[in-house]
Every structure is written in structure tokens, then in C-alpha cells.
Amino acid sequence: MPKTNDALGVCAALSYFCSVKRLLTSIGFGFLKTLSHLPLSALYVLADILRPFVWGYRRKVVMQNLRNSFPDKSKRQIAMMARDFYHFFCDLIAEQIKFLTISEKEIRQRMRFEGIEEMEKDLEEEPFVFIYLGHYGNWEWISTLGLWLREGHHAAQLYKPLHDSRIDALFLRMRSRFGAECIEKNIALRRIVQMKQEGHKAVIGFISDQTPRAESIHHWVEFLHQDTPIFTGTERIAKKVGAAIYFADVERPQRGRYVCRFRRMEAHASDAKGEFELTEHYMRLLEEMIRRRASLWLWSHRRWKRKRTDLNGLGSSSGRANA
């Protein structure tokens, strides 16, 4: 993250992931947990106060991503999109703080799911349902899906451990509060195979819109007008172990309220004909969702930092996400 002045540095410390780490280090876990007991409406007031200062957080990255993704938009329109993103970004911080202690009753009211019945029916034929997600809306709240599943159906999600062990432990507790298992991405295949051998029926979430490491790039697509390397592991694991594939289509009808609709992509991953057919389908659905309401995607992520020309032939396969 680029250097900022003192005021921006304080506010950037509230930003998601890296910034939350700084916040926790500087003011301690206890104060953050105390804040989480406030009503979400009060936390939104704090978010509104912070918004003018957070405007500087990774602004160059946000503006570049928006300009490249929407080349048909004017400078004024791009500026408005950036403003809407930072507004939501501050709300997201408030919602993540609240998530530390939110009650089951309240989260059931604020996070609704549609399409669960169809997923559970697919679990009668396949051992797994894999859900493609993006960093869109409040993806952390989707980890509460286990509250809605039938008894005997397990909820899990992949995650990447954070460098700070204390912050990592905090996020693990937060993400597993409502029964979801957090599976470290480096041992994902091993754990999923183990679950299959033990006869578990599981719904597993995969956030697949981040930037792969250079050595992990196997495929590229055109996504939001840009040549984009993508993760293919979800599809490859699904075909190996047997899974139905769904996409998490998220809407935010009002502040602090989300609806996640599960859209079936393939009842049997092994039926997908092309090598990366499901992955490309996911990227098309993700782009469709982002275009519907762009402010809810995480534009501060350096999604396009890897260029095909810089990788000396790695990941030469290509496709189109908006074809």
C-alpha cells in the first residue's frame, strides 16, 4: 500500500484485511469487540464519519480498475462509481465489526438465502455442492449458510491463512461462529477427499476472483474488458471428487440486508465438456453481477497486476468471459 499522510493512514487502518490488521494491533481486540456490540445502525454512523478519509485508500488502484473495466464511462461517471464503492466499503467495515458478536436471530434477518432446496436435492446424487463466490457484497456473511442447511449437511469454505497468527485466529473464529468449517487452501484437496471417504455431504464455498500466483496460472479469459488470469482449482477439484456447481448471486436490497441466490451451473461437474468450461461460466456470471451493481465488488484489489507478457509463456491457454 502506498504511503499516505497521517490522517489517511489512520483511516486506511480501518480498511478490510490489511487495514483491519493495523486496527487490531493499534487499539486491541477488546475495543473492537466492544464496538461490535453496538447496533449496526450506530456502526453505520461511524462508517459515514470515516468515509471522507477512507477515500484515499488505494485510490489509484480503484480508479485504474474502474477506468479499465468501464472504458465507455465518462470521467464523471467513473468518479461517481468510485464514490459509491467507498461508501459501500465503509459499510462493509462496519458489518465485519458487527459480525464478531452478531446474534443468530439478527444474522438470519440480515442474510437470506434462496435456492437451498435445489442444492440439498443435488446432494442426494453427489457428495458435494461447490459454490463459486466473488468478493462481492458481504461475502463473509455467506459463511452463515450452515444455519440454513438440513441436519447432516456440512458447510465449509476455503481460506488463505493470514500472516499475523492473532488476526488469523480472530477471522477463523468469526467465519466459523455459525458452524462452517474453514479449510486452508493449501490442503483443500486432501481435506475434501477425506470428507468424501468419511461419507460427509458438504456445501463448500470457493472465492475464486483473486489473482493467482504466477506459477498457478493455467488459463486466461477476457473479464471486464481485460486479459485476466483465473483460478481453475475449483473446477478441477469438482471433477475429481464429484460435485454439483452453483454460483452465489448476491444482492443488497438495503443497507445491512443481503439476499444470496444460488444459481445452478452444472448438476454434475464431470458433465462439463470443455477443460475450463465451468470456470469461464463463473467469470461470465461474476461479470454480469458486477455490471448490475458495480459498487459492491472489491475494486481496491490489484486484480490485474499480472500480465501475460510478463510470465514468459506461463498460462498460455485463453478464453473469453464475456463472450
Q: In what order do the strands lie in the sheet with 201-207?
A: 111-114, 257-266, 243-254, 128-133, 201-207, 153-159, 181-184
Whole-angstrom Cα distance, residue 300 to residue 65? 8
- Radius of gyration, alpha carbons of the chain: 20
Q: Supply the pLDDT for residue 27.
A: 53
Whole-angstrom Cα distance, residue 306 to residue 226? 11
**217-242 confidence digits (pLDDT tens):** 999 999 999 999 999 999 999 999 99
DSSP one-letter code for 38:
S
**113-165 confidence digits (pLDDT tens):** 999 999 999 999 999 999 999 999 999 999 999 999 999 999 999 998 877 77
What is the pLDDT averaged over residues 285-293? 98
First and final CA of the chain: distance in angstroms? 34
Q: E-assigned strands of 208-285? A: 220-223, 226-229, 243-254, 257-266
**237-285 confidence digits (pLDDT tens):** 999 999 999 999 999 999 999 999 999 999 999 999 889 999 999 999 9
Task: Give the SS3 label for residue 11.
Answer: helix
* Cα 158-163-168 angle, rounded to 5 deg: 55
Is 70 exposed, middle or buried, given 0-12, 13-18 or 19+ CB atoms closer than 10 A?
middle
Name the one residue in this structure whose C-alpha cell is 441466490. 261
Nine-digit cell string for 61: 488502484
DSSP-derived pairing of the beta strands 220-223 and 226-229: antiparallel
CA distances from 151 to 21, 86, 104, 201, 255 (A): 35, 39, 17, 10, 31
DSSP one-letter code for 10:
H
Whole-angstrom Cα distance, residue 129 to residue 266? 10
Closest CA to 167 of 3, 9, 20: 20
DSSP-derived pairing of the beta strands 181-184 and 111-114: unpaired
Task: Give the SS3 label for residue 125.
Answer: coil
pLDDT above 60 for 23: no
**177-210 confidence digits (pLDDT tens):** 999 999 999 999 999 999 999 999 999 999 999 8
DSSP-derived pairing of the beta strands 153-159 and 201-207: parallel
